[in-house]
């Protein structure tokens, strides 16, 4: 069997160590040195990294039935359970059908009012020249929004504890990706204990919300109500554990990714004053607090969001495991090969984005978008596993950005260090301390 080119290990475990130390640079280097199809191994596990829109389309869409989720999502089941993100096959499709109505356009339009309401509370609490960690602020805000919109629950007062619990769980997730992680997870290591405490803290919130709803049969018209009313072919409803797994998946995915996106948006705006000025002009011209009906008038704000996701995609890579042998161009990949695709590398490819490191919202005019292959940009994934909350995320990011920008301008605090922290999502490693100036 002929394998694609790729990096060679200098000693056992070398490639895994290099990847774990800096996964983004590892993938960027692979693409630049070996091309669009790169082969390597971590121990006995073969990987192929593909970096061309056509191959990405084939893996995620055309031949998606020949793939299951990769190791990252397999290991995420430890924390998320058997929810929408980690499930497979017919069960996954059934779960998606049950949850889909909660993300229809009409429903998102009702969520938008809560998005703006909670953002306005944050806007009104800030004062001129306040220094704050914008990442923490966006995490708390998006947590409150997802709690209210999807579960009709007030979790704003728990934001600090939940945020810390999430960080602890994410640290443990890194351990779960190591060789022999099944054994490591059973050892009384400090990181493992901390991660278990974080998971327990998150479970307390989710199970409390479920218990409160069980005690009240009222239909709130939110996602949790829909899930609680759902029954299978035998008429049985979801158990508390099943509800927990679905709720936890959407509870975390629904705020972590958007919080990171908004954090990076404030960062790029602070460094690009022309773009910042144009965004301010657009939100000022609106003349009132933004709403769902105003989204068509917030076109430049949407371009800022799109360009931020190009440079700093919250989900920076996707793995898929081949069920059967897979033909990739001239190469035959054996069954169980993990195929990696990366939003981070694809979005920074100079073949599709001229001067790719430059922040330029004008890339997202209709004319420019039409020139590029479709899968040169896929921040929400693709195929049957495309993010169910994509329109929720777009709406939230645009409305939050516009609502805060009408009153505030954010500057980077002196000596703020900027570095990427690719864990489950793409976080800022040192937070994002900024100074808010009243406009």
pLDDT greater than 70 at residue 399? yes
Q: Is 220 in a helix, a strand, or coil? A: coil
* pTM recorded for the entire structure: 0.91
In this prediction, residues 278-302 reach a mean pLDDT of 97
Q: Rounded CA gap, 6 and 30, in Å? A: 7
* pLDDT class of 94 with cuts at 50, 70, 90: confident
- pLDDT value for 309: 98
- pLDDT value for 173: 64
Distances (CA, A) of 425 to 11, 14, 112, 256, 260: 29, 24, 24, 8, 8
Angle, CA of 176, 178 and 182, to the nearest 5°: 55
In this prediction, residues 106-113 reach a mean pLDDT of 92
Q: Is 251 in a helix, a strand, or coil? A: helix
Q: Rounded CA gap, 306 and 363, in Å? A: 9
- pLDDT value for 51: 96
Tokens of 208: 């409390």
pLDDT greater than 60 at residue 209? yes
Beta pairing partners, 321: 68, 338
In this prediction, residues 277-305 reach a mean pLDDT of 97
Q: Which of 425, 401, 397 is nearest to 170 (CA)?
A: 425
Tokens of 226: 């829909």
Q: Could you give all domains of the chain from N- to C-terminal order, each with its CATH number?
A: 54-319+384-438 (1.10.630.10)
- pLDDT value for 179: 53
pLDDT greater than 80 at residue 74? no
What are the pLDDT digits (tens) for 363-392?
999 999 999 999 999 999 999 889 989 999
- pLDDT value for 434: 98
- The DSSP bridge pattern shows strands 408-412 and 338-341 to be unpaired
- Look at 40-54, 156-170, 380-394 and tell me which has the smallest mean pLDDT: 156-170
- pLDDT value for 246: 82
* β strands within 106-230, DSSP E: 130-133
- pLDDT value for 27: 97
- pLDDT value for 300: 98
Distances (CA, A) of 86 to 79, 91, 93, 267, 400: 10, 10, 12, 32, 29
- pLDDT value for 341: 97
* pLDDT class of 361 with cuts at 50, 70, 90: very high
What are the pLDDT digits (tens) for 171-196?
766 655 555 556 556 666 777 788 78
Q: Rounded CA gap, 250 and 281, in Å? A: 34
The helix or strand, by DSSP H or E, that contains position 37, with its residue range, turns out to be: strand 37-42
Question: Contact at 8 Å (CB) between 47 and 340?
Answer: yes
pLDDT greater than 80 at residue 46? yes
- pLDDT value for 241: 85
* pLDDT class of 123 with cuts at 50, 70, 90: very high
Percent of the chain with pLDDT over 70: 92
Q: Which DSSP string do the residues of 120-140 spell out, in sequence order? A: HHHHHH--TTEEEEHHHHHHH
**Between 3 and 73, whose confidence is greater?**
3
- pLDDT value for 114: 93
- pLDDT value for 95: 78
Q: Rounded CA gap, 105 and 255, in Å? A: 19
* pLDDT class of 340 with cuts at 50, 70, 90: very high
**Between 153 and 301, whose confidence is greater?**
301
Beta pairing partners, 130: 436
Q: Which of 385, 341, 320, 319 is nearest to 66 (CA)?
A: 320
Side-chain-side CA neighbours of residue 321 (13 Å): 11
pLDDT greater than 90 at residue 269? yes
Q: Rounded CA gap, 133 and 412, in Å? A: 10
- pLDDT value for 102: 81
- pLDDT value for 183: 59
Cα 240 to chain centroid, rounded: 26
Mean pLDDT of the chain: 89
- The DSSP bridge pattern shows strands 420-422 and 45-50 to be unpaired
Q: Which of 86, 58, 92 is nearest to 73 (CA)?
A: 86
């Amino acid at each position: 069997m002929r394998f694609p080119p790729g990096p060679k290990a200098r000693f056992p475990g070398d490639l895994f160590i290099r990847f774990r130390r800096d996964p983004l640079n590892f993938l960027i280097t692979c693409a630049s040195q070996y091309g669009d199809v790169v082969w390597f191994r971590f121990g006995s596990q073969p990987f192929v990294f593909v970096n061309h829109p056509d191959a990405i389309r084939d893996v995620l869409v055309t031949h998606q039935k020949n793939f299951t989720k990769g190791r990252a999502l397999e290991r995420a089941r430890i924390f998320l359970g058997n929810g929408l993100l980690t499930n497979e096959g017919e069960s996954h499709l059934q779960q998606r059908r049950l949850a889909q109505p909660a993300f229809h356009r009409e429903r998102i339009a009702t969520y938008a009012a809560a998005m703006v309401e909670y953002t306005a509370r944050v806007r009104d609490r800030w004062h001129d020249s306040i220094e704050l960690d914008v990442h923490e602020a966006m995490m708390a805000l998006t947590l409150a929004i997802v709690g209210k919109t999807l579960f009709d629950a007030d979790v704003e007062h728990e934001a600090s504890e939940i945020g810390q619990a999430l960080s602890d769980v994410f640290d443990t997730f890194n351990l779960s990706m190591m060789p022999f992680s099944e054994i490591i997870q059973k050892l009384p290591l400090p990181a493992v204990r901390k991660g278990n405490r974080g998971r327990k803290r998150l479970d307390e919130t989710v199970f409390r919300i479920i218990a409160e709803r069980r005690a009240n049969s009222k239909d709130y018209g939110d996602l949790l109500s829909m899930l609680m009313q759902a029954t299978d072919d035998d008429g049985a409803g979801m158990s508390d554990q099943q509800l927990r797994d679905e709720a936890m998946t959407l509870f975390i995915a629904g705020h972590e990714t958007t919080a990171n996106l908004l954090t990076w948006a404030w960062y790029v705006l602070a460094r690009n004053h022309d773009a910042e000025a144009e965004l301010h002009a657009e939100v000022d011209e609106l003349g009132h607090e933004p709403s769902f009906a105003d989204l068509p008038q917030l076109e430049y704000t949407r371009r800022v969001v799109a360009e931020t996701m190009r440079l700093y995609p919250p989900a920076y890579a996707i793995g898929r495991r081949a069920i059967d042998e897979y033909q990739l161009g001239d190469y035959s990949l054996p069954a169980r090969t993990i195929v990696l695709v990366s939003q981070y590398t694809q979005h920074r490819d100079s073949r599709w984005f001229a001067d790719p490191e430059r922040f330029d919202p004008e890339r997202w005019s209709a004319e420019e978008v039409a020139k590029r292959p479709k899968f040169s940009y896929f921040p929400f994934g693709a195929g049957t596993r495309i993010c169910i909350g994509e329109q929720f995320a777009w709406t939230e990011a645009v409305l939050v950005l516009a609502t805060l920008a009408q009153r505030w301008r954010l500057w980077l605090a002196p000596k703020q260090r900027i570095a990427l922290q690719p864990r489950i999502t793409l976080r800022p490693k040192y937070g994002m301390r900024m100074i808010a100036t009243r406009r």
